[in-house]
Amino acid sequence: MTTLEDCRALDAQDPLRPLRDQFVLPEGVIYLDGNSLGVLPKTAAARVAQAITEEWGQGLIRSWNSAGWFELPRRLGDKIAQLVGANAGEVVATDSTSINLYKVLSAALRIAAQDAPGRSKVVSERSNFPTDLYIAESLCREKGYTLHLVDSHRIGDALTDDVAVLMLTHVNYRTGAMHDMAGLTRAAHEAGIVTVWDLAHSAGAVPVDLNASGADFAIGCGYKYLNGGPGAPAFVWVNPKHADRFWQPLSGWWGHAAPFDFTPDYQPAAGITRYLCGTQPVLGMVALECGLDTVLAAQPLGGMAALRAKSVALTELFIRLVEERCAGQGLGLATPREPALRGSQVCLTREAGAYAIVQALIARGVIGDFRAGDGGAHEDILRFGFTPLYIGFEDVWNAVEQLRQVLETAQWQRPEFNQKNAVT
Ligand SMILES: *Cc1c(COP(=O)(O)O)cnc(C)c1O
């Protein structure tokens, strides 16, 4: 049996432990939801205040140049590139994940139409994050494609010669299951299919090597493991071999080769800059940079490989403790047991009460979240994200102890934990 002392010893030996001091962690909270909204970096409040009072207040319009506002999407993109196996100049921070998906899926369909004409399908996973499916559904209608949804174990079989684009999320938001990006990209390319990868639950959480994987397009989220703050700008990467081939459809002036020439016609900028659209939210950008810096602070300590090793240790410990200490309470495991097949989260299932159990845990300061099942193959899920930058082994122990108490006392059955909120 694993003891609290064992967990404390693991924290004492953890070389990444000092990284936790970069964050504002509320007293009495164990935050296992960094996969939905990362925590606040200590630097962010002062940095945003400076951007408001000095750069906006005093610098005014001059700050587009003097404070580097205009360069923010590329400068932050270069920082994100270091975390996802891309090179400088290949990534921009911009817009939302949904909007970036619209741009890259459009471009991917155009490339497919040129390189492998006559194909009619976009393939994705049935349990992909809904916004990805909604954007794809709309684009498929507009361009005359069929969106073909399959279960994750059928993706290989679905890569037939009528498929134009394979669009997947690397780490599944519901189950935490992680795809083999390089392997699926290779299989897709062998069938002449263009690939689009969503890294929303990967960037800052698991090592990703976009260039080595040979992927065609990738997008990701700024407010999850990158700690960029609520509604932070997202990012987009395009394989350099495609970057100059097409305009993306939202051809706004920030993607123009010379936006301040104010010409009436559109001339796309070279490379990834053409994936910008319009004026960027500067205050959100500067907060995102603070978040990126918290992840880059791990570089001297082993970077994403070290973060991944700790993340695996945390998720292994959580699964083991739940199985040891909450045995007989009806919990199941929705996340793959094999560490190589999962991201940085663990999802539990329970036939009844999943929502209320999460609410009872939140009342005790253990913040995870709930994702509803569909009454069919997908069960209700209790979701716990483990951000290795700020979660420790003792936190895992304490979270499981609270879960044990909630279940053993049946406290979750109280009416106040069974009222549904708008945001789960
Ligand atoms: C979080 C997430 C998004 C979020 O999209 P927004 O445009 O920021 O709302 C998109 N896709 C996936 C897979 C996600 O996990």
Render pLDDT for 82-109 as a digit per residue (tens, 0 to 9). 999 999 999 999 999 999 999 999 999 9
Q: Interior CA angle at 273 toward 59 and 269, to 5°? A: 105
pLDDT band at 423 (very low <50, low <70, confident <90, very high): confident
For residue 32, pLDDT over 80 is answered with yes
What is the rounded CA–CA span in Å between residue 308 and residue 327? Answer: 28
Identify the pLDDT of residue 378.
75
Is the CB of 235 within 6 Å of ligand 1?
no
pLDDT (0 to 100) of residue 424: 76
Mean pLDDT of the chain: 97
pTM of the model: 0.97
397 lines ligand 1 (CB under 6 A): no
**From the alpha carbon of 132, which atom of ligand 1 is closest?**
11
Atom 2 (ligand 1) nearest CA: 200
* Positions of CATH 3.90.1150.10 in the chain: 4-40+303-418
Q: CA of 401: how far to CAs of 8, 108, 407, in Å?
A: 15, 47, 10
Average pLDDT over residues 34-48: 98
Beta carbon of 132 within 6 Å of any ligand 1 atom: yes
With a 6 A CB cut-off, is 129 part of the ligand 1 pocket? yes
Rounded mean pLDDT, 243-271: 96
Residues of the chain within CATH 3.40.640.10 domain(s) are 68-296
Q: Compute, in angstroms, the gap from residue 221 CA to the centroid of ligand 1.
A: 6
- Which residue among the candidates 129, 235, 386, 417 is catalytic per the annotation? 129
- Strands in 91-94's sheet, in edge-to-edge order, are 91-94, 234-238, 217-220, 194-198, 163-169, 121-125, 146-150
Three-state helix/strand/coil letters over 161-197: CCEEEEEEECECCCCCEECCHHHHHHHHHHCCCEEEE
Q: What is the pLDDT of residue 263?
A: 96
Reply yes or no on whether the pLDDT at 176 is more than 80.
yes
The alpha carbon of 89 and the centre of ligand 1 are apart by a number of angstroms equal to 23
C-alpha R_g of the chain: 22
| pLDDT of the residue at 422 | 79
Q: Is 223 a catalytic residue?
A: yes
C-alpha distance across the termini of the chain, in Å: 33
Q: What is the pLDDT of residue 182?
A: 98
Q: Give the pairing of strands 30-31 and 366-367.
A: parallel
Mutate which of 97, 102, 133 for ligand 1? The one with the most ligand atoms within 8 Å of its CB, which is 97
pLDDT for 1 equals 87
Residue 307 pLDDT greater than 80, yes or no:
yes
Determine the pLDDT at residue 73. 98
Mean pLDDT to the nearest integer, 116-143? 97
Give the closest residue to 194 by CA, choosing from 154, 152, 241: 241
**What superfamily does domain 4-40+303-418 belong to in CATH?**
Aspartate Aminotransferase, domain 1 (3.90.1150.10)
Q: Which two tokens stand for residue 48?
A: 């945003």
How many angstroms is it from 146 CA to the middle of ligand 1? Answer: 22
Is 173 considered catalytic here?
no
Active site residue 224: yes
192-250 pLDDT, tens digit each:
999 999 999 999 999 999 999 999 999 999 999 999 999 999 999 999 999 999 899 99
| CATH (residue range 68-296) | 3.40.640.10
Give the residue-averaged pLDDT of 245-272.
96
74, 224, 350, 371: the active-site residue: 224
